[in-house]
Amino acid sequence: MPTRLLRGAQPGRMFMHTTDTVLNAALVAGETSGDLLAGLLLDGMKQRWPDLHSAGIGGPQMAKRGFEAWWPHDKLTVHGLGWDVLLRYREIVGIRNQLKTRLLANKPDVFIGVDAPDFNLDLEAALKAQGVKTVHFVCPSVWAWRPERLEKIKRSVDHVLCLFPFEPALLAQHGIAATYVGHPLAQVIPIHPDRAQARVQLGLRPDAPVVAILPGSRVSEVRHLVEVFFQAAALIQKGQPATQFIVPAVPLVKPQIMAAVQASGLGQAVQVLDGQSHAALAACDVTLIASGTATLEAALFKRPMVIAYRMGALSWRLMRRKRLQPWVGLPNILCREFVVPELLQDAATPSALAHEILAWLACAARQPEKIRQLEQRFSALHTELRRDTPTLAVHAIAQLLQN
């Protein structure tokens, strides 16, 4: 089906007339995280509209809920460098244009863009201008950087579904309607993770420190971080020879990670996992982690962490000029203070990263109260983020459709 679409064929069913039980929704979700979020949303939508018809761009979690994928979600993912990126960009723009033409010819009751703002906001603007109700699920991080997006969001979206409690008030200042629906990860991750069970599951020694290394899930971010992270791991092992290292790796970046492990000389001290990031975070004492959603997962697992990030020099200069807050890591942003260290760009050296990780390991032995205080902060954050996301999101969508 997707191959025929790319050649211009018209796929699948047409949207049907809406009734009290029927809703015709178009959705676009990019990457695995968007597919998971959209899957949860579709669960709530099917409860509210039992004869829901949903179609657009999505992945396997959405397909399980009866979603009709005209293109798979990984069509929106860009990997690599140079010419390959340009070719992929042209393909993605072509997909967006085809999708826009189809949706304007046969308008859905609502369009829901799940994350992927660079793809979705332009599409939402075109649909909204033609009378289609538009919802964006996951507020773009205008509160961290790129504030110029606010006008674009206002022009493109009728309603934003927000994962964090401070976002609706910020959007309201710019005339953008929004609803806080909680973060789905807070429902998935247990309030009290079982470290002992996770160590048994991963075959780790219960009496030796465990450091989880998460250098990212995208080729570009792993390229900038992976060598530095494993150089830091080698220094950590010198300071704490019994340390066990676990590294969850998605297939796309596993070759890069395996090469860095081999170069590090750590040998059997490192266990590279096929995914299993949640098991790794549950099992560890502390994590060395790339800035991103994974840092929120680490906080929900109540784990100390050292957040790091590196990027190309030009990208760093541009981002630093647009940065709006002193923090980049989600745990610090949500707590409004540096509860965990952040080492960015030139500050993210192997020796500095190793020093901060060893400091956390020392706290566990000598200052357990500091660890307990961090766990209490993260437990409070977990409670604040734990909401019935599908129900709240569907209520907001239903209210929008009634207006």
Quote the CATH superfamily of domain 2-182+387-402.
Glycogen Phosphorylase B; (3.40.50.2000)
d(CA 238, CA 240): 6
Instruction: For residue range 144-198, list pLDDT tens digits in order.
Output: 556 678 889 999 999 999 999 989 998 999 999 999 999 988 998 999 999 999 9
Q: Judge whether 2-182+387-402 and 188-385 match in fold.
A: yes
d(CA 308, CA 213): 11
Structure-token pair, residue 199:
């160590």
Confidence of residue 90 (pLDDT cuts 50, 70, 90): confident
pLDDT score, position 319: 67
Q: Which residue has the tokens 């990019």?
A: 30
Query: Is residue 198 within 8 Å of 283, Cβ to Cβ?
Result: yes
The alpha carbon of residue 89 and the mean position of all alpha carbons in its chain are separated, in whole angstroms, by: 21
Mean pLDDT of 190-214: 95
Interstrand relation of 68-72 and 110-114 (parallel, antiparallel or unpaired) = unpaired
pTM for the whole structure:
0.82
Q: What's the chain's Rg over C-alpha atoms?
A: 22
Domain residues of the chain, as ranges? 2-182+387-402, 188-385
| Lowest-pLDDT range of 3-17, 89-103, 265-279, 323-337 | 3-17
Residue 84 has pLDDT above 60, yes or no: no
User: Which fold does the domain 188-385 belong to in CATH?
Assistant: Rossmann fold (3.40.50)
Query: Is residue 216 within 8 Å of 334, Cβ to Cβ?
Result: no
Q: What is the 3-state secondary structure (H, E, C) of the chain?
A: CHHHHHCCCCCCCCCCCCCCCCCEEEEEECHHHHHHHHHHHHHHHHHHCCCCEEEEEECHHHHCCCCEEEEEHHHHCCCCCCHHHHHHHHHHHHHHHHHHHHHHHCCCCEEEEECCHHHHHHHHHHHHHCCCEEEEECCCCCCCCCCCHHHHHHHHCCEEEECCCCHHHHHHCCCCCEEECCCHHHHHCCCCCCHHHHHHHHCCCCCCCEEEEECCCCHHHHHHHHHHHHHHHHHHHHHCCCCEEEEEECCCCHHHHHHHHHHHCCHHHEEEEECCHHHHHHHCCEEEEECCHHHHHHHHCCCCEEEEECCCHHHHHHHHHHCCCCCCCHHHHHHCCCCCCEEEHHHCCHHHHHHHHHHHHHHHHHCHHHHHHHHHHHHHHHHHHCCCHHHHHHHHHHHHHHC
Confidence of residue 1 (pLDDT cuts 50, 70, 90): very low
